[in-house]
Structure 1
Amino acid sequence: MDPRFAQAEAALQAGRYEEGVRLTEAALEADPKAPAGIYRSFTAILFRHRDFARAAKWAKAGAEQHPKDSELFNILGVALRRSGRLKEALQALDTAARLNPKNLAVLQNKGNVLNDLRDGPGAVEVFTKLVRAQPSNAEVQRGLGRGHHNSGDLAKAEMRYRLAVKLKPDNIDGWIDLLSLLSDAFRMAEAAEALDRAIAANPASARLLEAKAVMLRRAGRRRDADAYLTELARAHPDEAWIHHQIGLTVADYDRERANHHLRRAFELAPQNLDFRLSLAESLNRSRYGDESAHIEEAYQVVKGGLDRPITHPVQLKIASEVLMRVGAHAERDRLATFAEAGRRWAEAGMHAPLLAQMARVETPEDRHELIAQHRIWGDLVQAQAARSPISRPGPRAPDGKIRIGFMSSDLRNHPVAYFALPLFEHYDRSRFELYCYSFNQGEEDQIQRFITESVHAFRWWKDISDRDAAERIAADQLDILIELGGSTHMNKLPVMAYKPARRQASWVGYPHSAGPTAIDHIVLDPHLVPKDPRLLIETPLVMPKTWLALGRTFRDAHVIAGDLAEERNGFITFGTANNPHKYNERLIRTWARVVREVPGSKFAFIRPEGNAPSFRQHMADYFAAEGVSADRLVFHTVRGAHMPFYNEVDVTLDPFPLTGGTSTCEALWMGAPVVNLRGEALFERLSYSILSNVGLAHHSAETLDGYIDIAVKLAADREQRRELRRTLRERIKQSPLGQPEAFARDFYEMIAQAVAKEGAQAAVG
């Protein structure tokens, strides 16, 4: 046998882990037919160091050399499970069970994987056998409970969880599962009582103390959670998990304090990937101080963790968002494929990251896959809502008015409010009553105050659960509830799954079907409706001309320069102010091709990321790949006060496939023409709708070559650009986009017809 095995064993026994691993790997590569025991011992060491990906590699190598060794296949299954490769894990464990059917540990590992895959019936079958063989084993009782939980049989799940913690009061996982079940069912008093008993039995358990903070936060009681954790921190100032939980709890209303605690958690436990990524996420969302510095720090924090598998859906979301924001698309793509990422998020109940999926769509199959991902999420939240239905009042007495609800935390200084304002300014109070619902964690601003004063009721619930919000909305007895925010920050899209209104619709805030079939309609216009009806889940409510109009935030105070940027600079400037979550490598390289085709031209990024070194470098690399040097890139680092910078752009290049919306309106308002590539799905047609409504549909292309051709020809036509700079704002004002009162009239008439139709159908039924 290779003498390096002995050297490796000596190094490992001496605590020189990296040296021992390196020597063992070299020995196994030189002598792959080593005894099965060496492979088992080596993978056991890797497990102790939580080196699961490497353990899976060598367990697989050992199993290939010793195909009848059940234990190696068992180790391989567990290592693959810990690496997030669940389907491969199941195959390995099936082989292990076939080789040794009497090994109960293999059977238990298989049951755990089935539970991870949410195959409730399969897990129930496995754990029922185990419970018969080991009725006093708390862990198999818990596994059976998880199987029933995943099957939707909550009563049986609860019984097994309670039995597990009775058999073994220090079974922390059993307590956590029981608390999760009770919390999901909104049996909060029982959950609190169970948690008190769990902590009494395990007073030193950090996981249970942490569970209390999580439970308070999930119940919408963030400030109570803050107070509880702050008290714990006084007693235990160096407990990393406490700082981590404080950071998560206060982030929405005190970002700077959140970053302080998340940094402290990371300092105390630098190997904890969750702590690392939570810090990165909070930095990425930080708007105080130097935003570019926060973005760069977030990227470096994520980059430092990319040597480890990032498989958990939450970890994958955070890493993907940060990498996308600085343009690290290759690093992002290595984390997971389009389908893998989207399904992991949807199956984990995570909707927000699906927005960035739109920028990754390339094929017709991708479009339908994205619809499937939204359906998965919608079915999941509706199943959760069905397990705890809300109370509803009886029908309200007829009063001749249509009661409309608008639900969004963005009814403030935010693009959603910019487009919603006409509906609050122009409506017939004798026909309609408007109710608004916001969960904004910040302070009231001037726009929110205006909306509050314009509507019948503005319900502002900072600390509330999804279910409680749904029940309170139901108490308002709406005829229709319209959600405006999708799953963007601080919104509560899952409220729609409870169906708090008889009729429900989505509009403006999310450029895709949200997912739940409980949302009956989506408000569109003739330019937005996809030709393929399978690309929508809801039934469209189609406005006659446009799905949006420009509100009072589009002001003449935004001054348009009297000359062209080209005339001042001596060269053409292309540019964008769109968010990097709409970028992809194909898009950026297309922008570079446009610049390459126009000698001497430059490209301007009007973005707060502009001073982040990594963003600059990635953009420069993409442009260089198309033969465009870095000195032809311009970065205007600005947030909020960006409107004047459109005067520095001659031609705005729209992103694709996820196109601009607000940014397209802003560019046109400032006289900067927009070139667009339209596609088949809703999110690929937003700019096309806007351009069509101002008579510029000819600036929208159906092909990539057409997009480049339009941009190059527009750059060459100085007179056309001068005319557009001079007249575009007035053209917008005269277009459907610039007629907010007519837009509101059309909108409310459409809603009235939808409500009347629903009432007529109910009467017939």
Structure 2
Amino acid sequence: MDLSTPPTQTPNTAIPEVEQLLARARSGQMGLPELMDRSSHLQQAGMLEAAALLYQVWVETTPSPLAHVACYNWGTLLGAMNRHAEAEQVYRKALAFNENFVQARLNLGHQLEQLGRQEEALEQWRLVYDDLRVQAKGRDGEELLLHALNNGARLLENLKRYDESQALMVRSLEINPRQGSVLQHYVHIRQKQCAWPVYQPVGEVTLNQLLVGTSLLAMLSASDDPALQLMVAQRFVHEKVIDYKDRPLHELAAAQRPRDGRIRIGYLSGDLCMHAVGLMTAELYELHDRSRFEVFGFCWSRDDGTPLRERIVKSFDHHVRLHGMDDLTAARTIAAAGIDVLIDLQGLTNGARPNILAYRPAPIQACWMGLPATSALPGVDWMIADRFVMPTEYLPHCTEKPIYLDRCYQISDRKRLVGPEPTRAQYQLPEDAFVFCSFNNNHKFSEEMFHAWMRVLKQVEGSVLWLLADNPWSHANMLKVAASHGIAPERLIFAPRVAPPEYVARFALADLVLDTFPYNAGTTASDCLWVGTPILTRSGRTYISRMAGSLLTHVGLPDLVTHSLEEYEQRAVQIGQNPARARSYKRFLREQGRESTLFDIPGLVRDLENKLETMAVAQRQKQKKA
């Protein structure tokens, strides 16, 4: 047998070759370099089980001072095969051979995390970043330290132990300030904690590095400058998205099977479950005109077992799971389905798979709902919008062209569940006080707007501000700012997170919702207007800072749209000092809100369909002429 070439993949020939390799490993005559080479050949041939077995046999039968290295490679292979429990034991074996083998300890932490044993994973990484011997190893030691610190910080952030996570990020940035990913998380974790000012330099990190390193999601809360939002989106694309130069997949698919018949529309998302996108879009899929459209759902959403998830899946003509597929295979699957219009509901939000779009599996690709901002993705040419959220002056800062709806851009669900109306006493709200409210996520709270809220409370005697209690650090920081304005802590009332029906129902207890800026409320604004509670917003220069303004315009309350901090503050005080005005808004919303164009969801779907059908028919005709 020629051992210089990979074993063949034909079962009849591969099995004898593997047996010979195993026999050689048992003989004790195979050195570590040969073992690694033969195992690599097996892996290249797709014979992962055989490669893992070869390592196992060698380790069990070959005395070697380098056994820990073989165990490390064996564990890496098992981990890649998702055999995490076995990988754990192999890494522990490597450490038994050499307790100072830091790389094995790092990987052991990853296997423990995969097994759901987060505390044990954190302990393995702590043993690395607190080891003085590792810290003394120069550049190699620095890389190992950063690996341990950054993964510890990541996991702690996922566990919402934000103070511990930030502390590790600070240590990491003090070692190496040029870590883009760590800078992104450092900025955003401070936003989550309402740790103002958010841009707090650390070590040699400059304010400019923090600004340039901000993620797109964090920038939506940090700045209303459309140029900055475009810049950080382009930076992400440059770093993370492939530059696909081959022939677009939709053209290859069309050459094999020209499109005809009903327009095929596909929705692409990892959030078609109990998530804001799933909650908002559920009725959309049900309302499509099946005589004109065939509806596909391409998703990698978690199967969370909720009735919402079941409802969404049933609403598609074809539900295609992309979970477990690589991006190219997923794109080929979409192209093979002959999709005319692919609508991305994810953008660059958590869990996004932008490379699917980069392959251009559909001739028309548009974004909507998931990311209310330009994504700068090379595979997305269109953005579904209205003329309020995407005015002419905003267009130069978007890589997408608008598909303008003749009504509000936002889809919502008229079937959303609303719980029984609660009482103020249930939430420790004073019966006779004016209740301002903001149930947006704490990372949307900007320092500027929170100070404005405190000035409003100071001018509206006896009023309270009802907020979400996202985490204890944001809670403490908000109380600290309130105290600096002379606002007693009992005037900030923190509500716990609850199930969506109860969350929507309790909006009725508030007199006026105060919108965030520059990251406006989206789902939150729709929910409060649906139950009949007004929201005061401030509209700016970007799509995301104009969302609530669009909703209020289309529901018939444009006087609740302000355009400066001063106007916003004055209007909030005017309404707070005149509760009858808030009651009139509530009465208007109860009587006319649900009949407005904002909640004419069938009309919105017909409008969208007409726009997309025109584009798709023109594209088909163009394809036939080519």
Q: Secondary structure at the match of 1:481?
A: strand
* 1:343-393 CA-partner distances (Å, limit 9, x unpaired): 447xxxxxxx3111121115xxx4213212323333555544348986943
Q: Secondary structure at the match of 1:459?
A: strand
CA distance in 2, matches of 1:327, 1:723: 34
Pick aligned residue for 2:616 from 755, 759, 765: 755
Pick aligned residue for 1:584 from 446, 464, 467: 446
> RMSD of the TM alignment (CA)?
3.7
Q: Secondary structure at the match of 2:244?
A: helix
Residue of structure 1 in register with 2:463 after alignment: 601
* 1:133-188 CA-partner distances (Å, limit 9, x unpaired): xxxxxxxxxxxxxxxxxxxxxxxxxxxxxxxxxxxx99xxxx9xxx9xxxxxxx97
Residue of structure 2 in register with 1:368 after alignment: 227
Pick aligned residue for 1:574 from 429, 436, 451: 436
Q: Is the 8 A contact 1:550 1:738 kept in 2?
A: yes
CA 1:229–1:488 in 2, change beyond 3 Å: closer, same or farther?
farther
CA 1:447–1:280 in 2, change beyond 3 Å: closer, same or farther?
same
Out of 675-684 and 490-499, give the one that drifted further. 490-499
CA distance in 2, matches of 1:470, 1:338: 39
Residue of structure 2 in register with 1:707 after alignment: 568
Pick aligned residue for 1:543 from 405, 420, 439: 405
Residue of structure 2 in register with 1:340 after alignment: 209
Q: Is the 8 A contact 1:262 1:275 kept in 2?
A: no
Residue of structure 2 in register with 1:638 after alignment: 497
CA 1:309–1:620 in 2, change beyond 3 Å: closer, same or farther?
farther
Q: Is the 8 A contact 1:549 1:739 kept in 2?
A: no
Q: Secondary structure at the match of 1:433?
A: strand
Q: Is the 8 A contact 1:210 1:245 kept in 2?
A: no
Pick aligned residue for 1:628 from 467, 487, 508: 487
* 1:622-665 CA-partner distances (Å, limit 9, x unpaired): 23333434332211122434334424432211111111101111
Q: Is the 8 A contact 1:667 1:674 kept in 2?
A: yes
Does the alignment pair 1:483 with 2:335? Answer: no
Q: Is the 8 A contact 1:606 1:642 kept in 2?
A: no
How is 1:394-433 mapped onto 2 (pairs within 5 angstroms)?
Answer: 394-433=255-294
Task: Tell me the amino acid that sits aligned with residue 224 of structure 1.
Answer: N
Segments of 5+ residues of structure 2 without an aligned counterpart are 1-31, 59-63, 131-144
CA 1:761–1:732 in 2, change beyond 3 Å: closer, same or farther?
farther
State the shift of 1:325 in Å.
0.8
CA 1:657–1:509 in 2, change beyond 3 Å: closer, same or farther?
same
Q: Is the 8 A contact 1:246 1:261 kept in 2?
A: no
CA 1:558–1:417 in 2, change beyond 3 Å: closer, same or farther?
farther
TM-score under structure 1 normalisation? Answer: 0.64
* 1:100-142 CA-partner distances (Å, limit 9, x unpaired): xxxxxxxxxxxxxxxxxxxxxxxxxxxxxxxxxxxxxxxxxxx
State the shift of 1:602 in Å.
2.1
Residue of structure 2 in register with 1:42 after alignment: none
Residue of structure 1 in register with 2:154 after alignment: 281
Residue of structure 2 in register with 1:240 after alignment: 105
Does the alignment pair 1:682 with 2:543? Answer: yes
CA 1:520–1:470 in 2, change beyond 3 Å: closer, same or farther?
same
State the shift of 1:699 in Å.
0.6
CA distance in 1, matches of 2:424, 2:464: 21
Task: Tell me the amino acid that sits aligned with residue 492 of structure 2.
Answer: L
CA distance in 2, matches of 1:740, 1:297: 45
CA 1:331–1:425 in 2, change beyond 3 Å: closer, same or farther?
closer
* 1:603-634 CA-partner distances (Å, limit 9, x unpaired): 2212332xx1x222211222333343433221
Q: Secondary structure at the match of 1:501?
A: coil
CA distance in 1, matches of 2:249, 2:112: 32
Does the alignment pair 1:226 with 2:84? Answer: yes
Residue of structure 2 in register with 1:728 after alignment: 589
Task: Tell me the amino acid that sits aligned with residue 659 of structure 1.
Answer: N
Q: Secondary structure at the match of 2:410?
A: coil
Pick aligned residue for 1:330 from 182, 193, 197: 197
CA 1:331–1:690 in 2, change beyond 3 Å: closer, same or farther?
closer
Q: Is the 8 A contact 2:273 2:302 kept in 1?
A: no
Does the alignment pair 1:739 with 2:604? Answer: no
CA distance in 2, matches of 1:562, 1:730: 23
Task: Tell me the amino acid that sits aligned with residue 356 of structure 1.
Answer: A
CA distance in 1, matches of 2:257, 2:400: 27
Q: Secondary structure at the match of 2:387?
A: coil
State the shift of 1:519 in Å.
0.6
CA distance in 2, matches of 1:340, 1:382: 22
Task: Tell me the amino acid that sits aligned with residue 511 of structure 1.
Answer: P
Q: Secondary structure at the match of 2:482?
A: helix
Q: Secondary structure at the match of 2:536?
A: strand
Report which of the two has the higher share of helix: 1
Q: Which has the higher contact order (CA 8 A, sep 6+)?
A: 2
Residue of structure 2 in register with 1:263 after alignment: 122
CA distance in 2, matches of 1:596, 1:189: 71
Task: Tell me the amino acid that sits aligned with residue 373 of structure 1.
Answer: V
CA 1:303–1:727 in 2, change beyond 3 Å: closer, same or farther?
farther
Q: Is the 8 A contact 1:671 1:728 kept in 2?
A: yes
Q: Secondary structure at the match of 1:569?
A: coil
CA 1:478–1:208 in 2, change beyond 3 Å: closer, same or farther?
farther
* 1:579-623 CA-partner distances (Å, limit 9, x unpaired): 1221221121121121122122222212332xx1x2222112223
State the shift of 1:203 in Å.
6.7
* 1:183-226 CA-partner distances (Å, limit 9, x unpaired): xxxx9769989x99xx999874599749946994xxxxxx7263
CA 1:529–1:213 in 2, change beyond 3 Å: closer, same or farther?
farther
CA 1:465–1:565 in 2, change beyond 3 Å: closer, same or farther?
closer
* 1:238-258 CA-partner distances (Å, limit 9, x unpaired): 85312432366x3xxx7xx15
Q: Secondary structure at the match of 1:407?
A: strand
Q: Is the 8 A contact 1:561 1:647 kept in 2?
A: no
How is 1:198-213 mapped onto 2 (pairs within 5 angstroms)?
Answer: 204-205=68-69, 209=73, 212=76
CA 1:297–1:644 in 2, change beyond 3 Å: closer, same or farther?
farther
Pick aligned residue for 1:615 from 464, 468, 474: 474
Residue of structure 2 in register with 1:157 after alignment: none
Pick aligned residue for 2:390 from 510, 524, 529: 529
State the shift of 1:681 in Å.
1.1
Pick aligned residue for 1:355 from 203, 217, 222: 217
CA 1:203–1:482 in 2, change beyond 3 Å: closer, same or farther?
farther
Q: Secondary structure at the match of 1:634?
A: strand
Residue of structure 2 in register with 1:654 after alignment: 515
Task: Tell me the amino acid that sits aligned with residue 550 of structure 1.
Answer: S
TM-score under structure 2 normalisation? Answer: 0.78
Residue of structure 2 in register with 1:319 after alignment: 186
Task: Tell me the amino acid that sits aligned with residue 186 of structure 2.
Answer: A
CA distance in 2, matches of 1:339, 1:206: 45
State the shift of 1:227 in Å.
5.4
Task: Tell me the amino acid that sits aligned with residue 82 of structure 2.
Answer: D
CA distance in 1, matches of 2:592, 2:332: 45
State the shift of 1:741 in Å.
1.5
Task: Tell me the amino acid that sits aligned with residue 574 of structure 1.
Answer: F
CA 1:338–1:192 in 2, change beyond 3 Å: closer, same or farther?
farther
Task: Tell me the amino acid that sits aligned with residue 326 of structure 1.
Answer: Q
CA distance in 1, matches of 2:72, 2:391: 49
CA 1:399–1:735 in 2, change beyond 3 Å: closer, same or farther?
same
Q: Secondary structure at the match of 2:355?
A: helix
* 1:38-94 CA-partner distances (Å, limit 9, x unpaired): xxxxxxxxxxxxxxxxxxxxxxxxxxxxxxxxxxxxxxxxxxxxxxxxxxxxxxxxx
Q: Secondary structure at the match of 1:385?
A: coil
